[in-house]
């Protein structure tokens, strides 16, 4: 099995922080997608081989794609770590390897993004880059690249390489070991021996409910100590809102992201209606 990069995002809905962890782990019989010396290709996918990484927070339907340029085309970007001189968004080698070894990074999106970081479902992508040894390559069609060995590309999601002074990047659509070719999402414009930057990507969704969480806490607290004579219907609506709030994470866990988003939008409207001021 090829390397399968995995990451986890833990949102803190009390302060709008999120915590990034690389949970790929070490290669073993029970974790065949982990980093290790015996991972395929042998000797090239250890943690010490990880060159850099990228981290993006996107809107739920956001996309990132490479179609020839060294920089990706990004739709729905909420936050990216940094922009380097080559147009990429990269952690350096030390930071990438520290994450792979179990360290975490915390982002205060409330500060970094501000008012744009509203309650909702978000997509995150974390990609780890390996600088692979030169592979003989030639372009055999508008989107097909013939290489001397497909092993380094199996399981990878995108490639970047330099031709002259230009950096090219493509999404890998498929890898065919029989014909020793890669299919890309755009016309491949090179034919020479190149050193490829090969990326493995993990995608994870999370829900931010900071404002809803604060709203419900305030309303429950007022209900418990206030002498306001709200009618039973308003109190029942608060109970329903709390139960709906508790259903957001189970829906996220089941991959029901649109349902979670619908609940968040409903509760946002509920919190804005000022029900009985209780």
Which DSSP string corresponds to 11-70? Answer: EETTTTEEEEEE---B-BTTBTTSBBTTSBSTTSBSGGGEEEEEEEEEEEEEEEE-BSSS
Could you give the CA distance from residue 153 to residue 198 in angstroms, rounded to a whole number?
A: 7
pLDDT recorded at residue 255: 97
pLDDT recorded at residue 212: 96
Could you give the CA distance from residue 188 to residue 139 in angstroms, rounded to a whole number?
A: 6
Q: Of all residues in the chain, what percent carry a pLDDT higher than 90? A: 60
Q: What is the pTM of this model?
A: 0.90
Could you give the CA distance from residue 216 to residue 119 in angstroms, rounded to a whole number?
A: 13
Look at residues 222, 205, 207 and name the one whose alpha carbon lies nearest to residue 124: 205
- Segment holding 240, helix H or strand E: helix 232-253
Res. 228 pLDDT band, cuts 50 70 90 = low
Q: Express each pLDDT in 93-120 by its tens digit.
A: 999 999 999 999 999 999 999 989 999 9
Residue 17, judged by CB atoms within 10 A of its CB (0-12, 13-18, 19+), counts as: middle
Which has more pLDDT, 190 or 57? 57
Q: Express each pLDDT in 165-177 by its tens digit.
A: 778 889 999 999 8
Q: Is pLDDT at 215 greater than 90 in this prediction?
A: yes
* pLDDT, average across residues 3-22: 95
């Amino acid at each position: 099995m090829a390397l399968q990069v995995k990451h986890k995002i833990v949102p803190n809905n009390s302060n709008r922080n999120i915590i990034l962890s690389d949970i790929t782990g070490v290669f073993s019989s029970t974790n065949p997608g982990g980093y290790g010396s015996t991972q395929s290709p042998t000797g090239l996918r250890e943690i010490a081989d990880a060159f850099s990484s990228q981290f993006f927070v996107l809107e739920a339907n956001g996309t990132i794609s490479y179609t020839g340029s060294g920089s990706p085309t990004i739709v729905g970007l909420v936050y990216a770590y940094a922009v380097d001189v080559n147009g990429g968004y990269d952690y350096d080698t030390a930071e990438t390897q520290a994450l792979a070894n179990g360290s975490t990074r915390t982002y205060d999106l409330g500060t970094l993004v501000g008012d744009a970081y509203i309650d909702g479902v978000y997509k995150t992508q974390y990609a780890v880059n390996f600088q692979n040894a030169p592979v003989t390559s030639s372009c055999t069609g508008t989107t097909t690249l013939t290489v001397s060995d497909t092993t380094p590309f199996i399981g990878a999601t995108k490639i970047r390489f330099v031709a002259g002074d230009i950096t090219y990047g493509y999404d890998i659509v498929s890898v065919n070991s029989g014909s020793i070719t890669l299919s890309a999402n755009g016309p491949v414009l090179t034919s020479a021996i190149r050193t490829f930057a090969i990326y493995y990507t993990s995608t994870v969704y999370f829900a931010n409910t900071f404002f809803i969480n604060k709203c419900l806490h305030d309303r429950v607290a007022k209900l418990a100590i206030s002498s306001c004579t709200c009618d039973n219907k308003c109190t029942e609506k608060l109970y329903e809102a709390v139960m709906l709030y508790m259903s957001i994470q189970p829906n996220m866990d089941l991959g029901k992201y649109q349902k979670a988003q619908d609940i968040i939008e409903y509760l946002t409207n509920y919190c804005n209606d000022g029900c009985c001021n209780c």
